[in-house]
Amino acid sequence: MATVDLTTKFLPKTDEQFAAESKRSLVTNQNFTWDGAATVRVYKVSTGKMNDYARNGDPATGSRFGEVEQLNATTYPLTIEKDRSFTFVIDKLDEDETQQQLSGATALARQNREVVIPEVDAYTYGVMCTNAGTKPAAVELTAENIYDEICKAGALMDEAGVPETGRVLVVTPEIYRIMKKCKEIVLDTDVGEDMRLRGVVSNLDGAAVQKVPASRLPSKFGFMLCHPCATVAPLKLQDYRIHSDPPGISGSLVEGRVVYDAFVLQNKAKAIYYQATT
């Protein structure tokens, strides 16, 4: 029997990995600036207690308003510690003989989309879960109890004085599936395209429901109800560059540096409720 080697043809198309864009902007804020500094110190100021007004004055002190207090004003530091980088080379012939599918610009965009953004997101969500002001014991979340657990989170945040508008409920795709099976949950899926790009898939009791890949969240993640006022997430530096034919290289040298961090403000930690699951 004759042997025939069939032709193999490579098309100028690359099987790109699908990676969602960053979602952390919805649950964090940029209220502080680290321009020109690595550390920012934040004030914590105490408050005064309420007294019974004495119309005729206190017999001992003569004060009508009560004992005069001295307020405390202390500070704590927020220091950016995540200073990350990457570098790789694309040979000139590799770029030419892959019909420009392997090129500096596309490789840099892919690196940012598939490596940098997921790392920064995962770190931010991890910091929020670790420093959440309320972290009840882990429970198994089911279609029968998930609404009660979410309502419990909302009630505690109400008692803590957390603003009702702007709250975000972060869930994994699996937890969102369980939510849709719950008969008590009515999801409003009328969400604008701009919010969908940030991961919002619906609204529940006034909170935006943000679906985040489990790979960007801590293990045993159940859900997190939070308000962006609690977490500051600075992105101090994004430095990306492509060097064409640098010394010792025939091709492109790609380099990148990202300086970032995330901090939960001590006086606003109650604006994060993290429920782990078993």
The segments of the chain whose pLDDT lies below 70 read 1-20, 94-103
Residue showing tokens 């945040």 = 157
Rounded-to-integer distance, Cα 67 and Cα 267, Å = 26
What would the pLDDT profile of 13-48 be if each residue is shown by its tens digit?
555 555 567 888 899 998 888 888 889 888 888 889
Read off the amino acid at residue 261: D
Strands 168-171 and 207-211: parallel
Domain residues of the chain, as ranges? Answer: 39-79, 82-276
pLDDT score at 3: 63
pLDDT score at 217: 95
pLDDT score at 18: 53
pLDDT score at 91: 86
Looking at the DSSP bridge assignments, the partners of residue 17 are none
* DSSP-derived secondary structure letter, 264: E
pLDDT score at 276: 96
Can you read off the two tokens belonging to residue 140? Answer: 């198994």
What would the pLDDT profile of 201-220 be if each residue is shown by its tens digit?
899 988 999 999 999 999 99
pTM given for the model: 0.85
Can you read off the two tokens belonging to residue 99? Answer: 């019909």
pLDDT score at 145: 94
DSSP code per residue over 17-34: PP-PPP-GGGT-B--S--
